[in-house]
Amino acid sequence: MKHFVKLFASVTLAVFLAACSQDVSQEPATGAEGGPTETADEFVARANAELKELGREIGATNWVRATYITEDTAILASAASEKYSAWHGEMVAQALQYEGQELDPSTRRALELLKLGTSAPAPNDAAKRKELAEIRTDMTGKYGAGKYCRTDDDCMSGSELEQAMRDARDYDELLEYWVGWREVAVPMREQYARFVELANEGANELGYSDLGEMWKSNYDMSPAEFEAESAKLWKQVKPLYDELHCHVRAKLGDVYGEDKVPQDGPIPAHLLGNMWAQQWSALYDLLEPYPGIGDIDVDSTLKTKNFSPQEMTRSAENFYVSLGMPRLPDTFWERSQFTKPQDREVVCHASAWGLDGGNDLRIKMCINQTYDDLRVIYHELGHNYYQGAYKDQPPLFQSGAHGGFHEAIGDTVTLSMTPGYLAEVGLVNTAEDDERAIINRQMQMALDKIAFLPFGKLVDEWRWGVYSGAITPESYNQSWWDMRQKYQGITPAVERTEAHFDPGAKYHVPANVSYTRYFLAHVLMFQFQRTLCDIAGYEGDLHACSVFGSKDAGDKFYAMMEAGASQPWQDTLEVMTGTREMDATAIIDYFAPLMGYLKEQNAERSCGW
């Protein structure tokens, strides 16, 4: 199976508001003594009303920018971002007037979420707001339109380079693609440093020491508690990652020679089949434990039956409908982008859009007839169904319980795409289920899900250091690679200096999209699946469970989604799973067969780096 590229972002209303909005706020409502003339409840009601109106135009602006990358749409997006920054700053200033008052818990939560309603707060200065908006728009545009060119007539886009990294096996060819793409980020380096200055200034004005502290405050716990929570989850899964790393390194040493892949050090970053070494499933053909056993060739079915992008999307919709969820609205099929237009530049990174407060659901993809893309569709519709489930919540609560929940919905559903399920819906002919086939499938999935975990954790950890000042612009690149070696055990094969800006070669950095959500989602998806399988009455190994067709599981799942961000995530998690803590032990349960296999393979090897 080819590599599953997980390049997507949940584009809920809350994320739109973090990017841009319209300036329709009123002046602060104050009385003769300088106090508020509205009650806190009245203020929240007004904020929600304004937010509802803002969402319509915000969605249109961002959709057009993502599907028509031009100078004109850049101007529109930048202006919208600037206007939202002004609106948000004014509303937060008004909200601070209610500090210290005894408030209804729902009102207090709404005020707190309003305060946290941007991923990059702008300073309360018109010129700086404009500058911040222009920087963000320009960096995202550079990334979206980025290319690596050998000559003026021989250029490769980002998505073409990603495919080349999946397919190539030549050491030098892979290195060329790897180095070439990173040139796209070099012009962003000074812009990014200025972006950090401006966003930190905005965060300071909201009462946070820096933007990283603000991001970490968005998890219904203190920043220190959240850092400890992330560290706990990583510690739970690190033994499995270490075994996988050791085995992969040994196999790459066999392919490229131990002179290029030393068996006592980190793995060269360009050899893992992915532009960012974040997922390694493109290497499966080199690592397949039992060749040819239990192959799941969905690609052939999609091509033989000539599935259209819309038919592939219908397949995903049918899964959610089998759980008792509604069909997607007609406008979804009319307004989504399913394929890459030939006449213009677009952002192909898959994303789900809940426009107009979740009443206008869409996906934006450039779909190919591959199992990888099919799984991305199943994932993205998870966002859409979440957006539709909480659309009746007030706008300030129209988001996930936390960012990880939003990513975990569709991820959980993909776990039910078992061989049995694929055979049942006609995407494969048979489903082998002996021990060797199980190990093969687990290896395939681990190269995707387990390989991702340290990368999912470190991207924001690097940014926390940047925002706090612990990592200065003079050490952006060095600190990035120090962290990647520490967590992932990888290293660049060629010298990287501070003339480069390798973090910017990852979409979520110039786009300023938090990445911790993906790390948390990779934990929650297995925790959710374990719960849903219990509800569905499944008895057996967790890795073989599909909840397809279980209305009981679907009812529980949808009820969790309907809550949106209306209560602390711990309350929502408890309703769903019976516990108030995120727990990565379900990952260990799921991959128990593979862990046994890896330990056997690594018995005579020296692991670690």
Pairing label, strands 267-268, 8-11: unpaired
- Name residues of the chain where pLDDT drops below 70: 1-35, 432
- Candidates 349, 337, 279, 336; CA nearest to 9 is 349
Whole-Å CA distances, 397 to 208, 394, 400: 22, 5, 8
Assigned token pair, 443:
């290896």
Handedness of CA 123, 569, 219, 194 (dihedral sign): negative
d(CA 609, CA 607): 7
Phi/psi at 8 (5° precision): -150, 165
pLDDT of residue 432: 66
The continuous run of DSSP H or E covering 91 comes out as: helix 71-95
CA torsion, ordered 255, 256, 257, 260, to nearest 10 deg: -150
**DSSP structure class, residue 351:** E
Q: Which amino acid is at 329?
A: P
Q: Which residues does residue 292 pair with via DSSP β-bridges, in sequence order?
A: none
pLDDT of residue 35: 63
440 and 294 in contact (C-beta within 8 Å)?
Answer: yes
Q: Which residues does residue 268 pair with via DSSP β-bridges, in sequence order?
A: 491
d(CA 203, CA 210): 6
- Candidates 94, 93, 58, 88; CA nearest to 76 is 58
d(CA 185, CA 181): 8
Q: Which residue has the tokens 């040819």?
A: 292
Q: Which amino acid is at 12?
A: T
- The proportion of the chain whose per-residue pLDDT surpasses 90, expressed as a percent, equals 78
* Active-site annotation, residues: 349-350, 379-380, 383, 407, 508, 518
pLDDT of residue 10: 33
Whole-Å CA distances, 328 to 138, 361, 386, 411, 477: 34, 8, 12, 19, 44
Assigned token pair, 606:
């020296």
Q: Which residue has the tokens 């941007």?
A: 118
d(CA 540, CA 147): 48
pLDDT of residue 588: 95
- Candidates 326, 365, 352, 455; CA nearest to 410 is 352
pLDDT of residue 15: 37
Pairing label, strands 360-364, 350-354: antiparallel
Work out the burial of residue 149: count CB atoms within 10 Å of its CB; fewer than 13 is exposed, 13-18 middle, 19 or more buried.
Answer: exposed
Q: Which residue has the tokens 């009650």?
A: 39
pLDDT of residue 297: 86
Segment 159-180, tens digit of pLDDT: 899 999 999 999 999 999 999 9
Segment 99-156, tens digit of pLDDT: 889 999 999 999 999 988 888 888 989 899 899 989 998 999 899 889 999 988 899 9
Q: How far is Cα of residue 3 from the mean position of the Cα atoms in its chain?
A: 17
d(CA 376, CA 416): 14
At CA 103, angle to CA 400 and CA 570, rounded to 5? 30
Q: How far is Cα of residue 595 from the mean position of the Cα atoms in its chain?
A: 26
Cα atoms in the 13 Å half-sphere on the side-chain side of 123: 15
Strand, coil or helix: 100: coil
Pairing label, strands 350-354, 8-11: parallel
pLDDT of residue 289: 96
289 and 436 in contact (C-beta within 8 Å)?
Answer: yes
**DSSP structure class, residue 361:** E
Whole-Å CA distances, 364 to 10, 55, 351, 398, 508: 11, 18, 5, 20, 17
337 and 11 in contact (C-beta within 8 Å)?
Answer: no
Q: Which letter, b or e, does each residue of 231-263 get, where b requires 16 or more Cβ atoms within 10 Å of its Cβ?
A: eebbebbeebbbbbbbbbbbebbeebeeeebee
- The proportion of the chain whose per-residue pLDDT surpasses 70, expressed as a percent, equals 94
d(CA 384, CA 145): 26
pLDDT of residue 117: 80
Assigned token pair, 318:
């049918």
Q: Which residues does residue 9 pair with via DSSP β-bridges, in sequence order?
A: 351
5 and 350 in contact (C-beta within 8 Å)?
Answer: no
Assigned token pair, 121:
């707060």
451 and 241 in contact (C-beta within 8 Å)?
Answer: yes
Q: How far is Cα of residue 234 from the mean position of the Cα atoms in its chain?
A: 17
Assigned token pair, 500:
């480069």
The continuous run of DSSP H or E covering 600 comes out as: helix 592-601
At CA 92, angle to CA 89 and CA 95, rounded to 5? 155
